[in-house]
Amino acid sequence: MASFKSVKVPVQLWASEFGGDGVVLAHTQLIQRWLPSPPEYHVARGAGHFAFLAPCSDEMRKEARRLCEDRGGFDRAKWHSSMNGTVAAFFTRTLGAGAK
């Protein structure tokens, strides 16, 4: 789409393998192609859309179970730890080590 052509900053783009709630992997793949420079692209394998939310507390699991449930074998807490490191490294690399 034309609106993506004006993007001039480095982009790190994330997608969940299984999507959900109206979000599908194909949409993120389109955005990847529409950006003028290839983004750093990651797919969270085994994840649904809500896996991008922080790991749920026990109370949150009771209040919003649908937002807290992941497919079998996907460890949200472990994945967030890994993703957070990847995001931080991207910002350090693209904004410079002294960026705050």
Listed by start position, the domains of the chain span 10-55+72-95
pLDDT in tens, 27-78: 999 999 999 999 999 999 999 999 999 999 999 999 999 999 999 999 999 9
Question: What are the CA-CA distances from residue 3 to residues 21, 34, 35, 73, 86 (Å)?
Answer: 24, 9, 9, 38, 27
Rounded to two decimals, the pTM is 0.85
> Tens of pLDDT along 77-99?
999 999 999 999 999 999 886 55
Give the type of residue at 78.
Answer: K
40: exposed, middle or buried (Cβ count in 10 Å: 0-12, 13-18, 19+): middle
